[in-house]
Amino acid sequence: VQLQASGGGLVQAGGSLRLSCAASGRTFSYSHLGWFRQAPGKDREFVAAVSRSGSSTYYANSVKGRFAISRDNAKNTVYLQMNSLKPEDTAVYYCAADRAILTAPLRTVASDYDYWGQGTQVTVSS
């Protein structure tokens, strides 16, 4: 699976952005998908994940209620809708794919993911 993230940019605090991650390859629909982010000088951290079918999602506490992850298997694309953005959301955002069986739990550790996109910068100004 090859992943290409897009949709980042500069936004004021309180604003919204929608990230997209387009995938090529036949294993997209057989993968749980996740978004991670990495701010300068910090470790990469989990943001959100969605199951193969799209029926299950999981969020980091820091974004719960503000961000929403979704996927469109027909378009091989995963999305991250980000609302009520805060300066502390500033980071490079990465999409990732975890080849998993249908009943596998959603993962929050970066090393558990098999494929990664190149990242897209999100900057939130105060």
- Report pLDDT digits (tens) over 48-91: 999 999 999 999 999 999 999 999 999 999 999 999 999 999 99
Which residues are CB-neighbours of 92 under 8 A, at least 6 positions away? 8, 37, 38, 39, 119, 120, 121, 122
Check residue 27 and give its pLDDT.
79
Res. 26: pLDDT tops 80: no
CA 111 to chain centre: 15
DSSP state string for 14-67:
T--EEEEEEEESTTGGGEEEEEEEE-TTS--EEEEEE-SSSS-EEE-TTTTTTE
Reported confidence tier of residue 124, pLDDT bands at 50, 70, 90? very high
